[in-house]
Structure 1
Amino acid sequence: MRLTLFVCLIIGALINYAAGVDPTNFKTCEQSSFCRRSRKVQSSGSKYALIRGTLNTYTDSVTADLINKENHHQFTMKLEALVGSTFRLQIDEKQPLRPRYRVEHALKGKPETAQIRVLESDELTITSGSAKAVIQGDPFRIDFYENDVHVVSVNAKNWLYFEHLRQKAQAPAGEAADGGDGAQQEQQEQNSDAVQSPSEPIDEPGTWEENFKSHHDTKPYGPQAVALDFSFPAAEMLFGIPEHADSFALKSTSGTDPYRLYNLDVFEYIVDSKMALYGSVPVLYGHGPQRTAGVYWQNAAETWVDIYTTETNVVSSLVNFVSGSRKSTPPAAHFISESGIVDAFIMLGPKPIDVFKQYAALTGTHELPQLFSLGYHQSRWNYNDERDVTSVSAKFDEYNMPMDTMWLDIEYTDGKRYFTWDKFKFPEPLTMIKNLTELGRHLVVIIDPHIKRDNAYFFHQDCTENGYYVKTREGNDYEGWCWPGSASYPDFFNPVVRDYYASQYHLSKFKTVTEDVMIWNDMNEPSVFNGPEITAPKDLVHYGNWEHRDVHNLYGHMHLMGTFAGLQQRDPNQRPFILSRAHFAGSQRYSAIWTGDNMADWTHLQHSTKMCLTEAVAGFSFCGADVGGFFGNPDAELLERWYQTGAFLPFFRAHAHIDTKRREPWLFPERTRQIIKSALLKRYSYLPLWYTSFYELEQTGEPVIRPLLTHYPLDKEAFAIDNQLLVQQRLLVRPVMQQGVSKVDVYFPAIDDKKNGDYWYDVDTYQRQERAGYESIPVDENKIPVWQRGGSIVPRKERQRRSSKLMLNDPYTLVICLDRQGKAAGTLFLDDEKSYAYRDGKHIYVSYEFADNQLTNRFIGKPQYKSEAWIERIIIAGLGHVPTPATITVNGISQQLEVEQRNGAIVVRKPAVKMDVDFALKLNN
């Protein structure tokens, strides 16, 4: 019977994977009772007021009590000032029947607080540096200012809603309600504030228990939703809250479902949709020409976000013009979570790059990855056996194409038992790994969180004997269904379980891998084939007696923490590489991500840039999409364009479903092979830029890829553009993502309100674009528009190798594109590309500047890394004249260098200066 059920579930899962997503398998707001109830507040208004006599002031914060004037329940409010123009607002019940969940492990550490000054009058004013918060008592509201500019309002719409914990009304006297205990009832009886008002929807369907399809949610603690609105008076658009297959600029949800944040396994997801996907990052930004601000809503429960964008109708515009008021209602967002507390960080900018850095200061950044992880990855579900892996690697060499990493999906294991190998298909894994390593390549293997329930499987035995699994409400090990069949799920919230799981990566236990094998964590939403919405039931119980509903969006994050710790313990000197599908705020500290189970379709290609741009501003720069699409079989043109696009996203991997045709590059006609090879070579030539960008991300929090508004905040035309991206502020990339086109429109952004623009140089021809606005750019099968900004210096490596590891000591080319003043600047970072030694200063970090026809370098910190690399070529575009031979001076010794003209630029050949040496290069007129 169990085997039959398993077979049916697996067949059903495969059929669903082939058929595409069925939206009816996932809830709408109307089907989520807490969302439905919280949304009703939008029409009625909430009734919360500050109890003024309860105010307490401290060096960095103020606290006070709030009251719900309808039912007289009381809450505590704390507003704390943080370093960097950021405030933290927390609201919790004053006397809850049981503690409410507060998110742990998302922040990189305890935020650094800042001193405040408090001025009491009719309103309460708190200042900290250039940041200010003004608290209104009744109705409760907080307005936030940056340099006296009003940028964020909290509860301006009076949509604050906080369902306090309560006993079920019909519980007999002396008996605790579902999920309670005697102590809780005693506390409830002593708490006069817990009296219920008849106006509260405590008996509305879905309040105390809820059904969805065949699944029943017991809701033992009853209703406990929290909701709050945020308005952005200085903004004209909102963006953020990944992960959704939607536009970068968030759309109004008026009359539709809100955006949903609830980690789910969704295959062949629908594009232009607000449906939840694999990750939930509750950070939102409001942007206008003068100010950008943000809100991070720290809550790991199911969350819905209503978006209200700027209204623009003729009548309202005329009325506002005559009255002298704002032209339109400011954009706003309404966050609605099923449980937890209000824990919101308000980040006041003022510029886009400032608010991105403020968010990074809270949740952290991805550490500098090993260089190989920025190269090209070859994957599919599944490479069949050792011979298949070896053959694919050899074919890349045969066709002279670079490739860094081979990937193995679930079929490499012994019956889906992780930390094991199929002994028939992979009898000598260490030999296979060694053969890859000797070629400068790596292997990544998948390890998912579902554990096969097999009494002969050591991992299951240990988890069962030690109580390491997530529990049902009755205290039993939860049993769900996933790829292994019957499976249970380790409770990674328990530090003992995380330590146990991390220990499995040690080479004394996982003996069939080496320290160079890296890890792919998939299905960690968690995916449960027979669970509600293909995930875990909400009334499961985790370590600390927390319900799964409280922590759902954190489960994958906790899985990553265990994996990261395991790889660090396995080899403390090597930086881990992990790819994860599920993610939450702060997961960027541990892993790269990808956009999940996409399709071989032009619309999914188009959404790869939209989704990764949104992830990047939410902390996840290390983002990519399965090249070619996971489902389906791309034709040659789609595959070509996808490689060209993927080459300019940070994570660059081809991956495909088990039922797709094999699509390694050499299986296509010569024309397609050459186009793919060209895209790969372009990617590898820019590895110095990608690597430097990730180092600077770790140091500053500035995203690697960026929307145009990041550096062109005044240009309203650029705000919503999401088919282009910036690599730092050095490259402008406009992938070709439409079928059969011979030209595309490229938008060159304006730097001011007079429509002046930067110079931009085509990276292939050095043709210069001088004005802002749209330009129709011809493209052919080999080309996508990529432009380097005038005023930037980009390091490249031009020698072709089979993998990035073999490029370590290859020489550099510096590409200098001059701005209108004939100047340019850029940086370059070098180290051993693998270890943590760079954190001890063993690196070279150099700044280059070109001005007055002279190139100089300046080291940022003393170079402590010895590199064998050198500069073999300097290309200068935009000079306007061809100089006579250049003079380079190193250690007081000067010599002449050849200068030649090529493709609209001048080339200084063979400077031959080492990377850790000061020099000056002078162009002679």
Structure 2
Amino acid sequence: MAEASQPIVSVIPDDEGKEKFKKSDHVAFYRRQMEGPNFQHRALLDTMVLTEKGARFKLLEPDTQTTLLLSVSPCKNDTVRILIDELQPIKARYRVPDVITEEPHVEQLRVERQSKDSVTLSWSSGRHQVCVWHFPFRLEILCEDKAMVTFNAKGKLWLEALQDPPGATSRGSELQEDHTSVLWKETFRQFVDIQANGPSSIGADLCLHGFSHVYGLPEHADGLQLRDTRDGEPYRLYNLDVFAYDLYSRLGLYGSVPLLVAHKPDRTLGVFWLNASETFVNVHYSPSDHQDGQTPPVKRRRVEPQTDVHWLSESGVIDCVVLLGPSPQQLFTQYAQLTGYQALPPLFALGYHQCRWNYDDEADVKAVDAGFDRHGIPYDVIWLDIEHTDGKRYFTWDSALFPEPAGLQRHLEKKKRKLVVISDPHIKVDPDWLLYCEARDGRHFVKNRQGQIYQGSCWPGESSYLDFSSSDTRAWYSRCFGLDKYKGSTPSLFVWNDMNEPSVFDGPEQTMPKDAVHYGGWEHRELHNLYGFYQHMATVEGLITRSGGLERPFVLSRSFFAGSQRLGAIWTGDNVASWEYLRISIPMLLSLSVAGIVFCGADVGGFVQDPEPELLVRWYQAGALQPFFRGHSAKETKRREPWLFGEEVTAAIRTVIQQRYCLLPYWYTVFHQAHTSGLPPLRPLWVEFPREQSTLTVDNQYMIGGALLACPVTEAGVEEVKVLMPGSGEVWYDVHSAKAYNGGRTLSLPVTLDTVPVFQRGGSVVCRSAGSGSCTAELQQLPLSITVALNSQEAADGELYLDDGHSFSYRDNKAFCLRRFTMLSGRLLCRPASEGGGGGGAFDCVTVVQSVTVLGVKSKPFTVVVHVSGAKDTCAAFEYMETCCMLTVNNLKLRVVMDWEIQIG
């Protein structure tokens, strides 16, 4: 949440007319690089050294006589890491820790050819090559002799060497008044940033050959495809608390993932820029009518498209990983191998969450909980915002409003529901509060540049900020979640990390000053974008430790970085109750998903302002088809529990939430795929249809897994929507009417307020629950309904993943069930999806399949015979609807863990 007093704009001028948030022309290092010279680095090829970690070269910039060290490391998973640092810095430059999960296995390089001008190295049996040119220095990555990426194609390599500040005698000293150069001292509004090491920025450009569509770089309230930045601001990656953010803006929001994904029909490629300081990215598409500011000639020969990407960061080293794909699926796996796979969430976290700033007291929480049961609407989690605490002191409760918090949690737990409470990174400055004293005495707070504990303003008033970059601080914070320390908590309490950009109400750009100092003497500027990631990490570890390492945690974080996917969920922050914000939520979530942050959602209904009933219904319909599904609203808004808008609205919301619960077996399965392969549950159309040009710019519809196509209605008062049905030769089935449509066309679909356009892909199998229950715990006891959608070859296949839904037994004891359903020649088989996935061992799976529906059966069969391994064949009763070619077999009671088959004849 943001300051309650803020108006609903994201750039707030002060009394002098200055903007609250910076644009690129406010940032000195960006101006220096964009206006400065293009340095002409030379690769000293005679310094090449081949090691087991790749190749090393010295780079020389003749004008400044700066010598850099270049390392090139090709890895076995078809990625290439490019690392550039000063050869002999006066002190170590910051290298981002904890994001890359393990160092990749490096391939052995060999020299293919060498001259005085260049050297070509190869690996992977010569399939991949890297060519390094002497002057001007550039590095080209080739796949099967075709150039994919050129590093330093435009000569924008930039690295400002660290310096000792003139006139300063120690780390904490102020610069003398006669040294006020912007290189050492930068002012924005009333804030002064003293740069301890002077200018230290880095930059580099990469040319992506043959690509004219790039994606990623979340988080921005913008379209899925990145725009050419020559017509405005670059994309900024700098985590900030931006209340009611501007739409179609490239300025920074709450989180950052410096991953750019390029796609063309025969190749998907990624560039990961591992840097946690303030970063800008310029994207230039070519050929372009305004390239280099030139007016194009009337006729121009056909030029292969390319995209030039220029990265600029305030500090650190150049650490760039190129992911070579070639398919979207392979790229997602490569990135997950690098930064971690999506954590498998507990099943309840995929249900519906009800939140408000703030539910008033225990009676209010119980009344809302009862309201869901009274109106037959399933939900799993109710949330408490900051007002539940004692004076904004986290890990406490307001004793007047929540006198028996453990009793409240037990009340919810009897219904198998959970409570989530907020825990922000700022700690109220209160010498009479034990937790503050522990943090102060344990040296767990960030310091200012003078070496004193940094203080800033946030919800409690004067606050200090925990230094989560320290492993000792993270360990201490994790212990705070122990049941013995967090009084009033129980094992069914889970956590929400908010304001962790970090938000500082009286700080520059409402965040922490860059010259604040973290553990190890590192300035905040070096690791700003990691701050929320580290709090998220500490909170997750706290909940795991609380359970003795047995239970999966659930932690939602507003701020995030690359690697946050292995910790939990995020959401898109303080949005507004308007149709425009509903529409933008879809490309925002797709951009996050492409960049590995796949457990994501947007506040249903909009955080601020009051949605009209139609907008609220449409937002629930969209939210139910997205990974993290939470209704949330600010305290100034009217109450908006689903039953407060009349029976028509209540019924519409009830229907989509029930449909979400019925679909949870499928959602859980696609999250298992994300956890094991890196494939996002939410996928842009081009991920599933990579060769189709028509899919490349679509960001109002998407795939859920590989089987379902969703196109939420995001316009007011519409009676018809257009849906692209991709895939020439594909068949698509409306999940509500079972009507079949051919792919390779755009469908005009009539809609009412109850219509949610969702289609199942021919060739897929989707498992649903046969009912919704009141929460996910009840859902686990219900039988399954399987929908088989035949493709044009009358075949289909799909998977189902089941485990206990809450523990780590799936990982530690292989206690899970992974089954594959395959339909071919009128025969549906249920078999283990892989060795060890049959549901044996410690997981006692009693789930049964109650019914099977087959779509696309062109003529009524004579018999349906069920065969179960070790049992006698039986004939099953069935229904056939000729109008939609749909066959339904009921009353089956087939155990999922058993091998069985159904023969349609």
| Smaller-chain TM-score bracket | over 0.9
What is the SS of the residue equivalent to 2:543?
A: helix
Q: Does residue 358 of structure 2 align to residue 363 of structure 1?
A: no
Q: Equivalent of 1:77, from 59, 63, 70?
A: 70
Give the corresponding residue for 1:742.
719
Post-superposition offset of 1:517: 1.0
Q: Does residue 54 of structure 2 align to residue 61 of structure 1?
A: yes
Give the corresponding residue for 1:15.
5
Give the stretch that moved more between structures: 147-156 or 530-539.
147-156
Going from structure 1 to structure 2, the CA distance change for 1:294 and 1:518 (only over 3 Å counts) comes to same
CA distance in 2, matches of 1:338, 1:541: 16
Q: Does residue 879 of structure 2 align to residue 900 of structure 1?
A: yes
Matches within 5 A, 1:816-827: 816-827=788-799
Q: Equivalent of 1:149, from 146, 150, 162?
A: 146
CA distance in 2, matches of 1:66, 1:784: 58
CA distance in 2, matches of 1:397, 1:334: 54
Give the stretch that moved more between structures: 128-137 or 344-353.
128-137
Post-superposition offset of 1:314: 11
Post-superposition offset of 1:720: 1.2
Give the corresponding residue for 2:34.
39
What is the SS of the residue equivalent to 2:749?
A: strand
What is the SS of the residue equivalent to 2:873?
A: strand
Post-superposition offset of 1:318: 9.5
CA distance in 2, matches of 1:700, 1:875: 29
CA distance in 2, matches of 1:327, 1:19: 42
Query: Could you tell me which amino acid in structure 2 is paired with residue 737 of structure 1?
Result: T
Going from structure 1 to structure 2, the CA distance change for 1:345 and 1:320 (only over 3 Å counts) comes to farther
CA distance in 2, matches of 1:314, 1:141: 25
Give the corresponding residue for 1:473.
449
Query: Could you tell me which amino acid in structure 1 is paired with residue 559 of structure 2?
Result: A
Superposition CA RMSD, Å: 1.9
Q: Does residue 489 of structure 2 align to residue 489 of structure 1?
A: no
Give the corresponding residue for 1:797.
769
Matches within 5 A, 1:494-513: 494-513=470-489
Matches within 5 A, 1:331-370: 331-370=307-346
CA distance in 1, matches of 2:437, 2:430: 8
Matches within 5 A, 1:530-545: 530-545=506-521
Query: Could you tell me which amino acid in structure 2 is paired with residue 639 of structure 1?
Result: L
Post-superposition offset of 1:205: 5.3
Give the corresponding residue for 1:575.
552
Post-superposition offset of 1:127: 2.0
Q: Does residue 829 of structure 2 align to residue 852 of structure 1?
A: no
What is the SS of the residue equivalent to 1:884?
A: coil
Post-superposition offset of 1:230: 1.2
Give the corresponding residue for 2:904.
923
What is the SS of the residue equivalent to 1:520?
A: strand
Give the stretch that moved more between structures: 419-428 or 32-41.
32-41
Give the corresponding residue for 2:402.
426
Q: Does residue 129 of structure 2 align to residue 139 of structure 1?
A: no
Q: Equivalent of 1:549, from 498, 502, 525?
A: 525
Matches within 5 A, 1:666-815: 666-750=643-727, 756-815=728-787
CA distance in 1, matches of 2:3, 2:897: 56
What is the SS of the residue equivalent to 2:655?
A: helix
Q: Equivalent of 1:872, from 834, 850, 872?
A: 850
What is the SS of the residue equivalent to 2:863?
A: strand
Post-superposition offset of 1:748: 1.4
Give the corresponding residue for 2:121.
126
Give the corresponding residue for 2:184.
208
Q: Does residue 637 of structure 2 align to residue 660 of structure 1?
A: yes
Post-superposition offset of 1:49: 1.1
Q: Is the contact made by 2:285 and 2:307 (CA closer than 8 Å) also made in structure 1?
A: yes
CA distance in 1, matches of 2:743, 2:219: 35
Query: Could you tell me which amino acid in structure 2 is paired with residue 871 of structure 1?
Result: V
Give the corresponding residue for 1:621.
598
What is the SS of the residue equivalent to 1:460?
A: helix
Give the corresponding residue for 2:16.
none
Post-superposition offset of 1:664: 0.3
Post-superposition offset of 1:511: 2.8
Q: Does residue 276 of structure 2 align to residue 295 of structure 1?
A: no
Post-superposition offset of 1:178: 6.6
Q: Equivalent of 2:108, from 110, 115, 134?
A: 115
Query: Could you tell me which amino acid in structure 1 is paired with residue 460 of structure 2?
Result: P
CA distance in 2, matches of 1:703, 1:321: 43
What is the SS of the residue equivalent to 1:296?
A: strand
What is the SS of the residue equivalent to 1:25?
A: coil
Post-superposition offset of 1:854: 0.2
Residue-by-residue CA offset, 1:516-542 (whole Å, 9 max, x unaligned): 211100000000000000000000110
Post-superposition offset of 1:260: 0.3
CA distance in 2, matches of 1:809, 1:37: 62
Segments of 5+ residues of structure 2 without an aligned counterpart are 14-18
Aligned-pair identity in percent equals: 38
Going from structure 1 to structure 2, the CA distance change for 1:318 and 1:908 (only over 3 Å counts) comes to farther
CA distance in 2, matches of 1:317, 1:715: 32
TM-score calculated relative to the size of structure 1: 0.93
Give the corresponding residue for 1:5.
none
Matches within 5 A, 1:159-170: 159-168=156-165
CA distance in 2, matches of 1:20, 1:513: 36
Give the corresponding residue for 1:842.
815
Going from structure 1 to structure 2, the CA distance change for 1:716 and 1:180 (only over 3 Å counts) comes to farther
Query: Could you tell me which amino acid in structure 1 is paired with residue 528 of structure 2?
Result: H
CA distance in 2, matches of 1:76, 1:569: 42
Post-superposition offset of 1:146: 2.4
Q: Is the contact made by 1:167 and 1:177 (CA closer than 8 Å) also made in structure 2?
A: no
Residue-by-residue CA offset, 1:6-41 (whole Å, 9 max, x unaligned): xxxx9x932215555427211111110001111225
Q: Does residue 866 of structure 2 align to residue 888 of structure 1?
A: yes
CA distance in 2, matches of 1:357, 1:450: 36
Q: Is the contact made by 1:521 and 1:560 (CA closer than 8 Å) also made in structure 2?
A: yes
CA distance in 2, matches of 1:905, 1:320: 57
Q: Equivalent of 1:528, from 481, 485, 504?
A: 504
CA distance in 2, matches of 1:485, 1:17: 20
Matches within 5 A, 1:207-286: 207-286=183-262
CA distance in 1, matches of 2:298, 2:433: 70
CA distance in 1, matches of 2:851, 2:296: 60
Q: Is the contact made by 2:396 and 2:487 (CA closer than 8 Å) also made in structure 1?
A: no
Structure number having the greater helix percentage: 1
Q: Is the contact made by 1:884 and 1:899 (CA closer than 8 Å) also made in structure 2?
A: no
Give the corresponding residue for 2:22.
27
Query: Could you tell me which amino acid in structure 2 is paired with residue 796 of structure 1?
Result: R
Query: Could you tell me which amino acid in structure 1 is paired with residue 159 of structure 2?
Result: F
CA distance in 1, matches of 2:179, 2:892: 79
Post-superposition offset of 1:358: 1.1
Q: Is the contact made by 1:235 and 1:292 (CA closer than 8 Å) also made in structure 2?
A: no
CA distance in 2, matches of 1:164, 1:468: 31
CA distance in 2, matches of 1:647, 1:59: 49
Residue-by-residue CA offset, 1:456-476 (whole Å, 9 max, x unaligned): 111111111122110111110
Give the corresponding residue for 1:643.
620
Q: Is the contact made by 2:221 and 2:588 (CA closer than 8 Å) also made in structure 1?
A: yes
Give the corresponding residue for 2:412.
436
What is the SS of the residue equivalent to 2:622?
A: helix
Give the corresponding residue for 1:911.
892
CA distance in 2, matches of 1:521, 1:639: 26
